[in-house]
Amino acid sequence: MKLSRPVSWFLLAFGVWSWVIWVTFVKNLVKDSSGLAFDDGHPTAYFWVHLLLAVVSFVWGTVIGGIGLRGLRALRRTS
């Protein structure tokens, strides 16, 4: 399957965006002082669920961004 240049760029941008957004979210989650993420210094269910969401998003962002990058490299080779 051959990806077009706009689709490849979109997939790559999505992968980068996913990493930027979720890294920022995890930093804020770790620094949370509202009591949602930590209760007396111990992680809560809220923390674990959102950490799992972040890890899954890191994996999907990496896979999707990698597909976009491979698409761009394939287009460059055929040009």
Partner residues linked to 43 by β-bridges? 38
Q: Is residue 78's pLDDT more than 90?
A: no
Q: What is the pLDDT of residues 12-57, one digit of tens each?
A: 999 999 999 999 999 999 999 899 999 998 999 999 999 999 999 9
Q: Do 36 and 46 touch, CB atoms closer than 8 A? A: yes
Angle at 34 between CA 28 and CA 40, to 5 degrees: 105
Q: Give the integer Cα–Cα distance in Å for 6 and 10.
A: 6
Angle at 18 between CA 14 and CA 21, to 5 degrees: 135
Q: Is residue 79's pLDDT more than 80?
A: no
The confidence score (pLDDT) of residue 11 equals 98
Q: Do 54 and 18 touch, CB atoms closer than 8 A? A: no
